[in-house]
Amino acid sequence: MKTIQAELETAVLGPEYAHVVGRRPTAERVVKKVYEWYCKLLFTVYCPLKVEGRERLPRSSFIFCSNHNSHMDSVILMLTANRGFNKFGMMAARDYFFENPLRKYFLNLFMNLVPVERKRNDRRAMIEGLVACRDFMRTGDRSLIIYPEGTRSLTGKIGPFKKGPAMMATELGLPVVPAYIKGSHRAWPKGRNVIRPARVYCWVGEPIHPEKFRESAGDGGSNREGANFGVYKQVTAALERSIRDMEKQHGGNYE
């Protein structure tokens, strides 16, 4: 069986991924820019956002990971980076966001959504997801937002982390940047339709570089299929430790 890296070298995206790498029509780019201006106003006046650690962000592509409490978290992370909304993409479940044509179209007006398969857990789905993310980031030196918890928290507390972001970063050779968001659970928690005014904060941690873990992963670093499971595990642990440390330092009450 080919290694993951060997498959990535020859894999290409099908036509269903055209929106991931293609240039958007002018009208759609205008809508996205207007939405960006609206969000900047919202997080200046209604939910004032304070950012610390922005200088730690890499200049090139990276994977941005934070705790996840609200639909507004992706906007918070993009505003934290201060590079324009078109410079970021969000991993989105194909079965929810892409099987409904209207939902796919309108959500893609505001956010760059990269489809991932969550109903299938096979190698082909994994390779497709990696290639889609790789090609998206190659188009204009863009970055990805991925939430390691996999879903929004109902309580504001951080849940267990999944290895998806670590796998993506390891196989694509990208740094992972941890961040901790406070206030979004109060402003717009899961299950509520109206955004409440609240102060929102985002702290950015030091980037985590997967290649630094290859030696310490030892024999658990890879298997015969070329999957670096040992590295995934260590990167995930480092990411979770960083975000939880920021939570301890800055968290406080969830309400």
Q: Count of residues for the chain?
A: 255
Please list, residue by residue across 20-31, b when 16 or more beta carbons sit within 10 angstroms of its beta carbon and e when fewer do: beeeeeeeeeee
Q: What is the pLDDT at residue 23?
A: 82
pTM value is 0.91
On the question of pLDDT at 39 being above 60, the answer is: yes
Residue 251 token pair: 């968290």
Q: Which residues contact 140 (CB under 8 A, 6 or more apart)?
A: 86, 87
* Predicted confidence band of residue 161 (pLDDT cuts 50, 70, 90): very high
On the question of pLDDT at 105 being above 50, the answer is: yes
Put residue 95 in one of left, alpha, beta given phi > 0 → left and psi -120 to 50 → alpha: alpha
Mean pLDDT of the chain: 90
What number of other Cβ atoms are within 10 A of residue 56's Cβ?
A: 14
Query: Residue 184's closest CA among 147, 153, 144?
Result: 153
Q: What is the pLDDT at residue 34?
A: 96
Put residue 172 in one of left, alpha, beta given phi > 0 → left and psi -120 to 50 → alpha: alpha
Q: What is the pLDDT at residue 66?
A: 98
Percentage of residues in the chain having pLDDT higher than 90: 67
The pLDDT of 239-244, averaged and rounded, is: 98
Q: Where are the domains of the chain?
A: 4-30+55-250
Reported as a single tens digit per residue, the pLDDT across 176-231 is 999 999 999 999 999 999 999 999 999 999 999 999 998 777 645 455 445 689 99
Q: What is the pLDDT at residue 247?
A: 96
Q: What is the pLDDT at residue 19?
A: 81
User: Considering only 44-48, 179-183, 218-222, 240-244, which range has the smallest mean pLDDT?
Assistant: 218-222
User: Considering only 52-61, 71-80, 104-113, 118-127, which range has the smallest mean pLDDT?
Assistant: 118-127
On the question of pLDDT at 10 being above 60, the answer is: yes
Q: What is the pLDDT at residue 89?
A: 95
Distance CA 222, CA 32 (A): 41
On the question of pLDDT at 255 being above 90, the answer is: no
The pLDDT of 146-151, averaged and rounded, is: 93
On the question of pLDDT at 82 being above 80, the answer is: yes
